[in-house]
Amino acid sequence: MSGQRASLLALAGELRNPIYRYVLVSNSKVQVTDEWPPQASLLKVSRTIRKEAMSIFLGENTFALDTPPYSSDGLLRWTNWARRMHSKYQVRITGVGSCDTDPGPDSWHNLLVWLKRFHERSVTHILHEPSKRLEQRADQMLVGCMFAMVKRMRDKPWAIVKALLEEQHHVLAAINAEWEAEAKG
């Protein structure tokens, strides 16, 4: 027995799955950066292990994307990657687009790109569900309403939808001057 190597794959699947869960499932959110295709070390061991364990990794964790304000680029890459890896699993994603902060220099452009992707259905994640919660900022509420409008207008050409969104940009700037500063820049 001293010359034999132990192998994870030699164990029965009923024993491997709890090991995968122990190694791959986090009690806290798994941080994802804009550049990151998620690859836990165990998933790099072999194709067989990756195939067996990826569903546990994607399906049983919640992922927090760390991206520039109002940017959907990381979300789009992440969503496309997750679909290629395991399209049957609903991946839970939070903290997308750093939208709980004030808008940054490219926020309006980023938001328009996100809304267009939402219109085209290449990104399905919505920012700021419209609500009547008092703790939600007025500009966040308006962004949520923009997503609701785009969802209802998916049968219309993007040019029409974009023209309406551009009109709402003025309201955003009136609510939060950071949005106006970007429009002039």
Q: Is the pLDDT of residue 185 over 50?
A: no
Q: How many CA atoms lie within 13 A of 137 on its CB side?
A: 12
Interval 35-43 mean pLDDT: 71
**What predicted TM-score, i.e. pTM, was given to this entire model?**
0.69
Q: Exposed, middle or buried by CB within 10 Å (0-12, 13-18, 19+), for 108?
A: buried
For residue 37, which of 8, 17, 57 has the smallest C-alpha distance?
57
Torsion angles phi and psi, residue 147, rounded to 5: -65, -40
- Taking only the tens place, the pLDDT of each residue in 104-160 is 667 888 889 989 999 998 887 777 665 566 566 788 888 888 999 999 999 999 999
